[in-house]
A = this chain, B = another copy of it.
Amino acid sequence: MAHEVEHAALNRYLETKGLKQTRQREAIFEVFLEASGHISGEDLHQRVRDRYPHIGYTTVYRTMKLLCDAGLAHERHFDGGVARYEIPHEHHDHLVCVRCGKIVEFECKMIETAQEEIAQRYGFQVLRHRHELYGHCPACTDAR
């Protein structure tokens, strides 16, 4: 089993919450870590199934929710209606290819600053935001 550090973090979290360490949780977390980003609940379920044929959708969803609570995963919803999960890291936004589904992360200090200024102008206390650019990635632009 790879990702020892991460699994240790999960086990620590489970322990502090009085929750249990199970094969399913380990398997789901492992597959999630291997996928390294933007994997959908469905894909995750499929891949975990390769190792645990009887695992249910339910357990995948419940475990991902748990991982999010533990701060070990981040849930995103892009257009299309399915939840996707990423490994938490510094703040960023996304470019999404509407043809092939490719997702690219970007970071822009200037936009962050502008957002703060806008929030202040309207008296809003911003808790989170959503910023996604949808279009064609380089490969899909060339393809026609």
Complex contacts, A133 vs chain B, CB 8 Å = 115, 118-119, 124, 126, 129
CB distance from A134 to the nearest CB of B (A): 5
A112 vs chain B, min Cβ distance (A):
10
The complex is assembled from copies of this chain, and their number is 2
Residues in chain B near residue A124, CB distance under 8 A: 95, 97, 104, 133, 135-138, 141
Q: Are A134 and B128 neighbours in the complex by a CB distance under 8 Å?
A: yes
CB proximity of A99 to chain B, nearest CB, Å: 10
The residue on B at minimum CB distance from A140 is B125
Count A-side interface residues using an 8 Å CB cutoff: 33
| A19 at the binding interface (Cβ < 8 Å) | no
Q: How far is the CB of A9 from chain B (nearest CB, A)?
A: 28
Closest chain B residue, CB of each to CB of A137: B124
A-B contacts, 25 listed (Cβ < 8 Å): A95-B119, A95-B122, A106-B121, A108-B114, A110-B114, A114-B114, A119-B135, A122-B138, A123-B137, A123-B141, A124-B133, A124-B137, A124-B141, A125-B135, A126-B133, A127-B134, A127-B135, A127-B136, A128-B135, A129-B132, A129-B134, A130-B130, A130-B131, A130-B132, A131-B131
4 closest pairs, A vs B, by CB? A123-B138, A126-B135, A127-B135, A125-B136
Q: Which A residues form the contact surface with B (CB < 8 A)?
A: 77, 79, 95, 97-98, 104, 106, 108, 110-111, 114-115, 118-119, 121-138, 141
